[in-house]
Structure 1
Amino acid sequence: MKKIIYIIGLLSLVACKKNIVPKPDHFLDERQMESLLYDLALLESMKVSESHTLDSLQFDAKAFIYKKYECDSTALAQNMVYYASFPKQYDQIVHRVDERMKAQRDSLNKAMQSAPPLEPNIPKRPPLPPLDSIHP
């Protein structure tokens, strides 16, 4: 939540000025930035809905992102600030990420609706005898 507030604050500060943010040393192009934001959104939604699964796998989302995009937290922050200094371009990237997320959600919903329902594989027990039939 703090990161989101930080990004929004940066967006509002740099939206009124000329580009004063230099291009990062480890620059991610628009396509890479879109993929990175998509991965972050996907991992965040997984963390919210399936946190126990990720915890049991000992999955470190940040380490995954850093390894996949060959960057560190500083490079990631610099790229976020850089793209935030171009509000229209950043808005287009976020819009494309949103469209990808919606398409993925719709695809999963369609697959879930067409799949047969899963029945639990629990062996059936015989019914218990009535209480009045039990003699001490």
Structure 2
Amino acid sequence: MRKILILLCLLFSLLSCDNNAIKKPKKLIEKDKMISILYDLSLVEAIKNQNINGGFSSKSANEYIYKKYKIDSIQLVESNKYYASDVDEYKKMFEVVKARLNNETLKIDAKLKQSGQTVPQNPSPQPISDTPQVQ
């Protein structure tokens, strides 16, 4: 009896381990498009936080993303959840987003210097985390 119980526990343990805990959504946003969406969401979030040009409301920011990429909120949430289930791959996606943001910052800084304007410095820079933050 004891051997059967141990065997059942072992079998149950093996069957409960599933690499695909989250199933692939029917309308999965392709990876490159998802990276672009995450990039735009980062920009929109920065605009909202800095209140640049009146800022964005959360609703208008979301509507902008949905219209630009021809997606809906459920598709975005399900795709984000799917990609986030593989932490290593998700982190790589955010590294691409971070590199794009840094590249754009360098381009803007170069244009400002070329035009003779000073590059504004953030008075209290916040440390940038390499850990993806999803809201």
Question: Shorter-normalised TM-score: what interval?
Answer: 0.5 to 0.7
Cα contact 2:29–2:75 (8 A) shared by 1 = no
Q: CA deviation at 1:17?
A: 5.8
What amino acid maps onto 1:29 in structure 2? E
| TM norm structure 1 | 0.66
Structure 1: which amino acid aligns with 2:111? A
Which aligned pairs between 1:91-130 and structure 2 lie closer than 5 A?
Answer: 91-117=91-117
Deviation by residue 1:74-94 (Cα, 9 ceiling, x = unmatched):
111111110011112111110
Q: Higher relative contact order by CA 8 Å / sep ≥ 6: 1 or 2?
A: 1
Q: Which residue of 2 aligns with 1:48?
A: 49
Which ranges in structure 1 are unaligned for 5 or more consecutive residues? 1-15, 118-136
When Rg is computed on C-alpha atoms for both structures, the one with the higher figure is: 1
Q: SS of the residue aligned with 1:79?
A: helix
Deviations 1:27-48 (A, max 9, x none): 1111001000000001111122
Length, aligned pairs only: 101
Structure 2: gaps spanning 5 or more residues: 1-16, 118-135
- Aligned identity (percent) is 29
In structure 1, the residue matched to 2:90 is: 90
Residues 52 and 21 (structure 1), Cα distance of their counterparts in 2 relative to 1, 3 Å cut: same
CA contact (8 A) 1:34 1:96 kept: yes
RMSD: 2.4
Aligned with 1:26: secondary structure? coil
Residue in 2 that maps onto 1:32: 33
- Given that 1:26 and 1:71 are in contact with CA atoms closer than 8 Å, whether structure 2 keeps it comes out as no
